[in-house]
Amino acid sequence: MSKVILAGGSGFIGTMLADHFMSKGDEVVVFSRSPQAGSTGVKSIYWDAVTLGEWVQELEGADVLINLTGKSVNCRYNAENKALILSSRINATNVLGEALKKVKHPPELWMNSASATIYRHAQDHPQDEETGEKGKGFSVEVCEAWEKAFYAHQIEGVRQSALRIAITLGSNGGVFPYYHHLAKYGLGGIQGDGKQYFSWIHEDDLKGIIDFIIEHKEIEGTLNVSSPHAIRNAELMQHFRKAAGMPFGLPATKWMLQIGTWALRTETELILKSRWVVPSRLLDLGYVFKVPYIDHAIAKCLK
């Protein structure tokens, strides 16, 4: 049995990982601003993700720390939200780094969430860890600052890995219900010109990759966590329409998306940026994807 700490683990990915580790018999501790008592066996501890507190003692003797903390980017990028998106990631990473230096027996592995949106808008060729080109703009600046803060903390005996996670598809949250409902109600046409790439990862592979990193103690550094098979938006929506049994889907032009995202209090970048990411390091290291293709991923999510 291992002890796994999930910092900021009360969201979609954190809940999924907590269930995964619990199913293996591991001890799971979640650091949360809103700790909840439950019957699942998961221990929930309060932290503000800024200051040291009683939560630090949970790191003593733990095996794995996974930091998922950060304000959702599914919001309008006004000044207040931009500041919170950046500070929530940097502050949590920094306070965890300080805490690890204070315990005698820190976890052997610290994984920090990062984002595949660090790469540029790419339609010409895929972006990997070695040759990928960084993009420009607010989102990329957040990603760069996040990783810089993470690697600034070097703790003896602690292996570190930044996970550039693509859009995660799963049954119980994330973006899957959004796309499925669009297709189901006849709105699953192309978005924008439909040529932008959609990089994604199914929850089974996110869990599998994390297990793979834990088991292979030689792995450290930055990893793209995405399916090897990104797909253009036009093909993506076609797969969703097929799964929903809907023969047609109304398209959404850029100006329509701008109105829609304004009404939903989010940003068109989340839909229109072309994210063409490949997990070269994972493939070279021998990880075998469980759900490599989008049709299989959609079918599993529908179950």
Contact 156, 108 (CB under 8 A): no
Cβ-Cβ contacts under 8 Å for 220 (sequence gap 6 or more)? 159, 160, 161
Between 287 and 255, where is the model more confident? 287
Q: Is the pLDDT of residue 77 over 60?
A: yes
Q: Is the pLDDT of residue 255 over 90?
A: no
Task: Report residue 256 as tokens.
Answer: 């329509």
CA atoms within 13 A on the CB side of 84: 11
Longest dimension (CA), the chain: 61
Q: Which helix (H) or strand (E) holds 179?
A: helix 176-184
pLDDT at 199: 98
Helices (H), 9-135: 12-23, 79-102
pLDDT at 265: 82
Contact 55, 70 (CB under 8 A): no
pLDDT at 257: 87
Cα–Cα distance measured from residue 87 to residue 71, given in angstroms and rounded to the nearest whole number: 9
pLDDT at 1: 85
CA 165: distance to chain centroid? 4
Using only C-alpha atoms, the chain has a radius of gyration, in whole angstroms, of 19
pLDDT digits (tens, 9 = 90+) for 175-204: 999 999 999 999 999 999 999 999 999 999
The vertex-117 CA angle with 116 and 119, nearest 5°, equals: 90
Domain ranges of the chain: 3-174+198-226+277-290
Mean pLDDT for all residues in the chain: 95
Quickly state the pLDDT bin for 294 (edges 50, 70, 90). Answer: very high
Q: Is the pLDDT of residue 118 over 80?
A: yes
Quickly state the pLDDT bin for 260 (edges 50, 70, 90). Answer: confident
**For a pLDDT cut of 70, what percent of the chain falls above it?**
99
Phi, psi of 133 (to 5 degrees): -105, 130
Q: Is the pLDDT of residue 228 over 80?
A: yes
Between 301 and 259, where is the model more confident? 301
Contact 7, 47 (CB under 8 A): yes
Alpha-carbon separation of residue 243 from 89, 240, 275 (angstroms): 36, 5, 23
Cα–Cα distance measured from residue 28 to residue 17, given in angstroms and rounded to the nearest whole number: 9
pLDDT digits (tens, 9 = 90+) for 130-170: 999 999 999 999 999 999 999 999 999 999 999 999 999 99
Q: Identify the CATH assignment for 3-174+198-226+277-290 out of 3.40.50.300, 3.40.1370.10, 3.40.50.720, 3.30.1300.10.
A: 3.40.50.720
Cα–Cα distance measured from residue 261 to residue 233, given in angstroms and rounded to the nearest whole number: 17
Type of residue found at 238: Q
Average pLDDT on 219-234 reads 98
Cα–Cα distance measured from residue 294 to residue 99, given in angstroms and rounded to the nearest whole number: 40
pLDDT at 37: 65
pLDDT at 38: 58
Burial class (CB in 10 A: 0-12, 13-18, 19+), 8: buried
Quickly state the pLDDT bin for 35 (edges 50, 70, 90). Answer: confident
Task: Report residue 265 as tokens.
Answer: 């209090």
**For a pLDDT cut of 90, what percent of the chain falls above it?**
88
